[in-house]
Structure 1
Amino acid sequence: REYKKAKMDDTKEDEGYDVVEHFRRLIESEPTLEKAVAAIQSLLLVVKHSKASTIMGLQVDLKAATDRLITFDENPSSVSLKAGCELFNIHVNRTSLDFPDIHECISKIVARGDDFAQMSMKSRMKIAKFGAQFIVNGCVVFTHGYSRVVCGLLTFAAKIGKQFSVVVCEGRPNGTGYKTAKFLISKSIPVKLVADVGVSVAMEKVDFVLVGANGVVESGGIISQIGTYQMAIIAKALKKPFYVASESYKFARLYPLSQNDLPETKRQLPLPPSAEHHIPDDEPLFTVSNPSSDYTPPSFISLLFTDLGVLTPSAVSDELIQLYS
């Protein structure tokens, strides 16, 4: 009864604030901002604009806003977005236990939330410092897709005087490899682009693999751009270290055992049509399957570079317990 009353009386969001619109504007205005951080900043404003008169009413407001954000953003990044939203809601619940007065609770949530958002945005620099230690002069780094944290790590390594080159897959069908190559070239880092089907050939000529992640799951495995898993398989077969760079707010309470256990929100990416071998869309015997993400088990991962330090996959579960307890 108390929950229903709170939901009826205390969920009137300020008409001047729309959590989804604010989230969208943040992403568009700051391309380097991670969606999980943008979601936390948007939820902070929900707290500031909430007209709830009880703690329960505030929690209902946040639950509704979180659901709207997750529904709005149906893509692979929603794994990290969900993890960020869950961490923030846990932060609110902890604060409400320490400060039962609604006004004092809100002021503490806002103060602590601002600190958390700032710490989250500084995570990439910590990761860059940890990961740069593994880059030595003359080495060749193999990466896949486009990852802000990976690009930041490589840029930092070049800035402190490391001499290295990068090999990147083209990242079909949306060409994320070209985006990575363009960015690294602008930082004066030599780049070689290879076809996705040429990973096994290119792997023999590199020193290690470095990729980002959309989410790090409880087992220490990762959910990342499609093609990451096959790259990890080839790297292990050729005895090449496979490193992952990821912020701790992407640690998610998920435990997939196979590709079939990935979140339902994964999106099918459209394949570019072939001008020479065009097949009509209405052909009944022809279908296209091209998921946007895949799952790489922890047995294929050597180390994870995070803002919490350099971790083995088995250490992720311990860090998750500390984050969520």
Structure 2
Amino acid sequence: MTAVAQNNDFDIYATFQQFLQDDQISPPLAAILSLAEAIVKSNAGTMFELVQALNDSAEELKRRSPNPISLNAGCELFIAFVTLFPHESDNFAELKKELEQQGRKYAAEAISFRDKIAELALGFIKDDSVILTHSYSRVVLKALLHAHKTKRISVYVTESRPRGLGLKTYEALTAAGIPCTVVLDSAVAYVMDRVDFVLVGSEAVVESGGLINYVGSNQMAIIAKAANKPFYALAESYKFHRLFPLSQYDLPTHNPNILSFPTPTARSAGQDSASTTAASEASEKSSANKGTSSSPTERAMTQEQIAKNPGVDYTRPDLISLVFSDVGILTPEGVSQYLVGMFAG
């Protein structure tokens, strides 16, 4: 039985979800704050027990989260900090308190990282720039709003199905007076010739220098490369993650159900055929009643079909021009070097 598990009243995942209620708190920071809380609730009496308890808590978060990638980065960073933290505490209880306070302090200060990144990105945004962005990202939104204070910019944002998070970006930008147009995910290649560069956020920047972000980022980077347009990623340093995927199928979020084919049986095939015919007849009757039999009916994916699609994808480092972070403007290779130094102590 682990030190954290001995406290039956503490639910690490519920705590994590509670921190996420604050719109300024991203999953890595919520994970750090949750682990800081786990230290307080822990009955550990030695550093070994405490580190073991934190590892167990991190595994619990990973197990219960549908997308553990970015929170893993936060867990990894905090546990490394606890392990390497120099201290002069008189007793272990004081050390636990100090570690908890340092975790909370880091999370509070880390919110300002977006301001640093926005200032760095400003130097690459010229007057009258036309920018393409994807989905919704706090740090990208911060950068665009900051640029709008001194420069004229226009923004295309993808709709980002199925969650439609690009519409959230659109609402925030138009409310601030920034000209913005929503682009279908399938129209990225169509609009690419009209933009000056692509600006995306990140779930994580991995050890290869590649990017994990909301699904669709990879195809956007491929199109940008073909059109010779810069592809910039914005990422707070707490999203740097010691993960080395070689393909989409190496991501922790991938499972056999994603993009899988159904296994048909003679009976189900007959049922599917019958149900399809019935649905078609019902559609035709409905259209006839409305006098619009020649118009195509609107179709939408089912929740089951959506569930078989990936939520994030991986973009290779050779497709990324630069990574803007609170630790500086880095090439993808620079991210690898930074990660090695950060976790080497």
Q: TM-score, normalised by structure 1?
A: 0.86
Aligned-partner residue type, residue 315 of structure 1: G
Distance 1:281 1:34 in 2: 26
What does residue 132 of structure 1 align with?
A: 122
Aligned-partner residue type, residue 302 of structure 1: S
What does residue 30 of structure 2 align with?
A: 38
Superimposed CA distance per residue, residues 257-296 of structure 1 (whole angstroms, 9 cap, x where no aligned partner): 1222222457969xxxx954589999xxx99852111111
Structure 1: give runs of 5+ residues left out of the alignment. 1-6
> Is contact 1:74-1:265 (8 Å) kept?
no
What does residue 64 of structure 2 align with?
A: 72
Superimposed CA distance per residue, residues 5-37 of structure 1 (whole angstroms, 9 cap, x where no aligned partner): xx46x4454455332222111212x12310110
> Structure 1 residues 280 and 196 mapped into 2: Cα distance closer, same or farther (>3 Å)?
closer
Distance 2:302 2:147 in 1: 48
> Structure 1 residues 109 and 263 mapped into 2: Cα distance closer, same or farther (>3 Å)?
same
Q: 5 Å matches for 1:298-309?
A: 298-309=317-328
The reply to whether residue 320 of structure 1 matches residue 339 of structure 2 is yes
What does residue 276 of structure 2 align with?
A: none
What does residue 63 of structure 1 align with?
A: 55
- Deviation of residue 146 (structure 1)? 0.9
- Deviation of residue 98 (structure 1)? 6.6
SS, match of residue 209 in structure 1 = strand
Given the alignment, which residue of 211, 214, 224 partners 1:222?
Answer: 211
Superimposed CA distance per residue, residues 130-166 of structure 1 (whole angstroms, 9 cap, x where no aligned partner): 111111111101011111110111111113x211110
SS, match of residue 85 in structure 2 = helix
SS, match of residue 141 in structure 1 = strand
Aligned-partner residue type, residue 133 of structure 1: G
Q: 5 Å matches for 1:1-325?
A: 7=1, 10-11=3-4, 13-28=6-21, 30-75=22-67, 78-95=68-85, 101-159=91-149, 161-264=150-253, 276=298, 289-325=308-344
Structure 2: give runs of 5+ residues left out of the alignment. 260-295
> Is contact 1:13-1:61 (8 Å) kept?
no
Q: Cα RMSD between the aligned structures?
A: 2.6
Aligned-partner residue type, residue 328 of structure 2: G
SS, match of residue 188 in structure 2 = helix
SS, match of residue 131 in structure 1 = helix
> Is contact 1:268-1:292 (8 Å) kept?
no
Superimposed CA distance per residue, residues 143-195 of structure 1 (whole angstroms, 9 cap, x where no aligned partner): 11111110111111113x21111011111222111111011111111101111
Aligned-partner residue type, residue 341 of structure 2: Q
- Deviation of residue 115 (structure 1)? 2.6
Distance 2:306 2:15 in 1: 38
Distance 1:206 1:138 in 2: 11
> Is contact 2:254-2:310 (8 Å) kept?
no
> Structure 1 residues 247 and 223 mapped into 2: Cα distance closer, same or farther (>3 Å)?
same
**Equivalent residue pairs, number:** 307
Distance 1:88 1:302 in 2: 29
- Deviation of residue 104 (structure 1)? 3.3
SS, match of residue 177 in structure 2 = coil
Superimposed CA distance per residue, residues 91-121 of structure 1 (whole angstroms, 9 cap, x where no aligned partner): 1111378769422321331232233212322
Q: Which runs of 4+ in 1 moved over 3 A?
A: 10-17, 96-101, 264-269, 274-282, 286-289
> Is contact 2:162-2:306 (8 Å) kept?
no
> Is contact 1:95-1:108 (8 Å) kept?
no
SS, match of residue 154 in structure 2 = strand
Q: TM-score, normalised by structure 2?
A: 0.82
> Structure 1 residues 73 and 207 mapped into 2: Cα distance closer, same or farther (>3 Å)?
same
> Structure 1 residues 280 and 42 mapped into 2: Cα distance closer, same or farther (>3 Å)?
closer
> Structure 1 residues 180 and 106 mapped into 2: Cα distance closer, same or farther (>3 Å)?
same
Distance 2:329 2:56 in 1: 36
> Structure 1 residues 80 and 15 mapped into 2: Cα distance closer, same or farther (>3 Å)?
same
Distance 2:221 2:306 in 1: 27
